[in-house]
């Protein structure tokens, strides 16, 4: 599974406005809704926050991968947000988060959902990949970096 199959440049926010977990999740869901990828923003938010109750998706190394299975989407979708100053995401390592990759999946797409989370996690473990994204000046440049990594 390629990240480019569920992420496009319109779903990338280079300068997140949110300063905490809830506002960032809402901001990324709003971006997906503006691109007609989410039918019900409140339902999408509820599903992600239910998952957050099980444990923070701030996985460490300045990365958060909030996710949820919901009836608010018809297919697997993603949104990527980058924060230049870092935000408190209640991460497992206590460090600020600079990269937030939101993943929403239909209720019945469990296999694709898990593969997507795994793929995103693997990409973001690479320090050089994270640095390249942090230094990108446009959503198109971010997509180019992701496409390059996605080809392997």
Are 57 and 67 within 8 A, CB to CB? yes
Identify the CATH number of the domain in which residue 115 sits.
3.40.930.10
Count how many domains the chain has: 1
Domain residue limits at 27: 3-150
Reported as a pLDDT band with limits 50, 70 and 90, residue 60 is confident
Reported as a pLDDT band with limits 50, 70 and 90, residue 92 is confident
Helix (H, G, I), strand (E, B) or coil at 57: coil
pTM tops 0.85: yes
Nearest to 82 by CA among 118, 28, 46: 28
Give per-residue pLDDT as tens, 116-126.
999 999 999 99
Give per-residue pLDDT as tens, 131-145.
999 999 999 999 999
Helix orientation angle between 139-150 and 127-135, rounded to the nearest 10 degrees: 160
Are 95 and 107 within 8 A, CB to CB? no
Mean pLDDT estimate for the chain: 94
- Cβ-Cβ contacts under 8 Å for 36 (sequence gap 6 or more): none
The CA distances from residue 18 to 37, 67, 100, 151, in Å, are: 21, 17, 11, 32
Alpha-carbon span 41 to 65, nearest angstrom:
18
């Amino acid at each position: 599974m390629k990240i480019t199959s569920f992420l496009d440049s319109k779903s990338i926010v280079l300068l997140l406005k949110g300063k905490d977990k809830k506002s960032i999740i809402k901001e990324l869901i709003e971006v997906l809704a503006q691109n007609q990828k989410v039918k019900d923003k409140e339902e999408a938010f509820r599903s992600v926050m239910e998952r957050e109750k099980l444990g923070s998706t701030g996985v460490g190394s300045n990365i958060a991968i909030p996710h949820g299975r919901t009836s608010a989407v018809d297919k697997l979708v993603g949104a990527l947000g980058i924060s230049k100053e870092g935000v408190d995401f209640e991460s497992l390592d206590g460090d600020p988060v600079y990269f937030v990759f939101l993943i929403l999946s239909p209720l019945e797409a469990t296999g694709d959902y898990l593969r997507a989370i795994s793929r995103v996690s693997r990409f973001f473990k690479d320090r050089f990949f994270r640095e390249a994204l942090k230094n990108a000046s446009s959503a198109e440049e971010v997509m180019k970096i992701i496409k390059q990594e996605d080809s392997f």
